[in-house]
């Protein structure tokens, strides 16, 4: 994966372009550029596939088209074989060359053949016409800003804030041409709000379990196709445990990384699973007091996130990917997206079966600016490529065909996933209740102490040129009686928390942070040998 930056138009300025590319430096290992009149294109390339020959920007054989590509195409071997049969010749074994060749063969329809996590820009060099495309779920980012005589494109907001102009985002699953001097208008190649429409509902548990197992195993296998060591972000919960189980089975050169306070449930469950599987395991032990304002500020700078809860999760995520980088790991699996697909949050219980489908689709549509943005920025800020198998389009489409009572049953969230892998999941993982990473790690409430400062820090980096920090959607939905339309309207009308709401939240966080000190004064310090055993 990479960071891409382009300035296209007669006013493209080399100094401005260099600053844009410098802002993306952590996303890759090498800088590769091409600069000509009216077209400045560059990549900070993280070398994963055909590391020596997949140099960017990539040029077509006739030099008519130039490609800047961020991401991975997991079916590039199959596409290469098909394109070869059609008469195309390849000089690399990488997916970058396949993307441009596929585009030249099939035009805009090529994007519908790509299975991957990607964002790319193709420029028609003689006209300046520019084609933009982003993967269906928005795993990889692509932003733009326009000034007179120049269109700027980049992988992160921080590369564009220096222009002082409003910043736009290519929506997930969107693509299209941008004509020189014309507004940026793209349309969907995948409509996330209609996934599964018109397809039969799968309400038989045995059939659903089989299909979930086949789809998810295939998504894992595709993302484990690498000769590099694979890391797994392991919380000890259901989703990350499944990622580790598949990595251990399909790609034995793997390592797990966990973060939390020493006595947290996350650390205990993760230690047990990694030991049972014989997988090397790195545990980042932090005390709440180790998280300081500087860490929060850095998480905001890196992540560019706009919801409070996601920023708190980023504070916990950044040290994980920093450690992976120190270990020399460049490819990592995460369990992100499973909760949004299979009912891992209480909100799905509350809305009921009739309204749950719209809520599922709304959450999926917004992953690009919440969880997926956190994962992309926190990982790529340390030169690590994070892959999200639960958000393979085949898995997402399947999940949208499952009724709510297959996802939530017997008081257990993600019931169908547990059933699908019941024979390989240890009972202590399969029966573990849902715990969001930052809460069960024991670090969430410490980061929450700094919550009233988030919006100001976000503005200090200029990120409000895209959008301001806003209230967490979950809290807005609850406040609106689980009415999705009301929650969306309320989020637009009053995006941020009030001073009183911030004050109440701060008091709650302060009480929680004071509790350990009180316990230490009242009770003698427990040694590691005195700790309660892991359930199960």
Ligand-binding site membership of 197 (annotated): no
Encoding tokens for residue 280? Answer: 């090397």
Q: Could you write out the DSSP letters of every residue in 413-438?
A: TTHHHHHHTTTTS-HHHHTPPP--HH
Query: For residues 140 and 134, what is the distance between their CA atoms, to the nearest angstrom?
Result: 7
Is 95 marked as a binding-site residue?
A: yes
Does the annotation count 2 as an active-site position? yes
Spell out the residues 6+ positions from residue 108 whose beta carbon is closer than 8 angstroms to its own.
131, 175, 176, 189
User: Which residues are paired to 146 by β-bridges?
Assistant: 151
- Count the alpha carbons within 13 Å of 34 in the hemisphere toward its beta carbon: 16
Cα–Cα distance measured from residue 90 to residue 98, given in angstroms and rounded to the nearest whole number: 8
DSSP one-letter string for 258-311: EEE-TT-HHHHHHHHHHHHHT--EEEEE--GGG--HHHHHHHHHHH---BHHHH
User: Measured between alpha carbons, how far is 457 from 387 in angstroms, rounded to an integer?
Assistant: 29
Look at residues 207, 236, 235 and name the one whose alpha carbon lies nearest to residue 430.
236
- Distance, CA of 77 to CA of 59 (rounded, Å): 20
What 8-state DSSP symbol labels residue 496? S
C-alpha–C-alpha distance, residues 134 and 174, integer Å: 6
- 270 exposed, middle or buried (CB, 10 Å; 0-12, 13-18, 19+)? buried
Strand 39-45, strand 2-8: pairing: antiparallel
Asked if 295 and 263 count as a contact pair (C-beta separation under 8 A), the reply is no
C-alpha–C-alpha distance, residues 298 and 3, integer Å: 19
End-to-end CA distance of the chain: 40
Considering 2, 68, 150, 368, which one is annotated as catalytic? 2
| Rounded Cα gap, residues 218 and 222, in angstroms | 6
Beta strands 230-233 and 331-333 are: parallel
Q: How many CB atoms lie within 10 A of CB 422?
A: 12
Residues of each annotated binding site for L-glutamine: 95
The residues that are catalytic are: 2
Residues of each annotated binding site for ATP: 259
Residues of each annotated binding site: 95, 259
């Amino acid at each position: 994966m990479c960071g891409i930056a382009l300035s296209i138009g007669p006013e493209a300025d080399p100094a401005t372009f260099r600053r844009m590319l410098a802002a993306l430096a952590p996303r890759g290992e090498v800088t590769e550029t091409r600069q000509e009149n009216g077209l400045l294109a560059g990549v900070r390339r993280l070398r994963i596939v055909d590391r020596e020959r997949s140099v960017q920007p990539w040029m077509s054989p006739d030099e008519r088209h130039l490609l800047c590509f961020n991401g991975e195409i997991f079916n590039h071997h199959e596409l290469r074989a098909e394109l070869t049969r059609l008469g195309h010749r390849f000089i690399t074994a990488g997916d970058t060359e396949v993307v441009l060749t596929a585009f030249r063969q099939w035009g805009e329809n090529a994007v519908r053949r790509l299975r991957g996590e990607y964002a790319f820009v193709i420029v028609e060099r003689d006209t300046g016409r520019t084609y933009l495309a982003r993967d269906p779920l928005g795993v990889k980012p692509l932003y733009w800003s326009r000034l007179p005589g120049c269109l700027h494109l980049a992988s992160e907001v921080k590369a564009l804030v220096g222009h002082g102009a409003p910043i736009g985002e290519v929506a997930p699953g969107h693509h299209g041409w941008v004509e020189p001097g014309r507004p940026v208008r793209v349309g969907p190649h995948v409509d996330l709000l209609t996934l599964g429409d018109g397809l039969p509902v799968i309400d038989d548990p045995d059939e659903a379990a089989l299909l979930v197992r086949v789809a998810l195993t295939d998504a894992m296998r595709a993302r484990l196709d690498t000769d590099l060591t694979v890391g797994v972000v392991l919380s000890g919960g259901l989703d990350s445990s499944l990622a580790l189980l598949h990595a251990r089975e399909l790609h034995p050169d793997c390592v797990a990384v966990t973060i939390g306070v020493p006595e947290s449930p996350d650390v205990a469950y993760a230690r047990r699973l990694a030991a049972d599987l014989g997988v090397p395991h790195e545990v980042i032990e932090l005390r709440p007091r180790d998280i300081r304002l500087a860490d929060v500020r850095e998480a905001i700078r890196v992540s560019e996130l706009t919801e409070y809860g996601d920023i708190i999760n980023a504070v916990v995520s950044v040290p994980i990917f920093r450690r992976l980088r120190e270990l020399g790991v460049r490819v990592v699996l995460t369990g992100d997206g499973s909760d949004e697909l299979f009912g891992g949050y209480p909100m799905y219980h509350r809305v009921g079966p009739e309204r749950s489908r719209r809520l599922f689709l709304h959450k999926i549509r917004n992953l690009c600016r919440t969880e997926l943005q956190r994962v992309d920025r926190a990982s790529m800020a340390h030169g690590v490529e994070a892959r999200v198998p639960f958000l393979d389009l085949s898995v997402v489409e399947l999940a949208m065909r499952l009724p709510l009572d297959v996802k939530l049953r017997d008081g257990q969230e993600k019931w169908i996933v547990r059933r699908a892998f019941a024979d390989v999941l240890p009972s202590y993982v399969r029966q573990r209740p849902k715990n969001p990473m930052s809460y069960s790690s024991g670090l969430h409430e410490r980061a929450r102490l700094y919550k009233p400062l988030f919006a100001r820090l976000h503005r200090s980096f200029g990120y409000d040129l895209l959008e301001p920090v806003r209230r967490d959607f979950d809290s807005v939905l609850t406040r609106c009686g689980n009415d999705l339309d009301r929650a969306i309207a309320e989020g637009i009308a009053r995006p941020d928390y009030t001073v009183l709401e911030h004050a109440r939240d701060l008091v709650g966080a302060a009480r929680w942070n004071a509790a350990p000190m009180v316990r230490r004064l009242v009770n003698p310090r427990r040694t590691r040998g005195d700790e309660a055993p892991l359930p199960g």
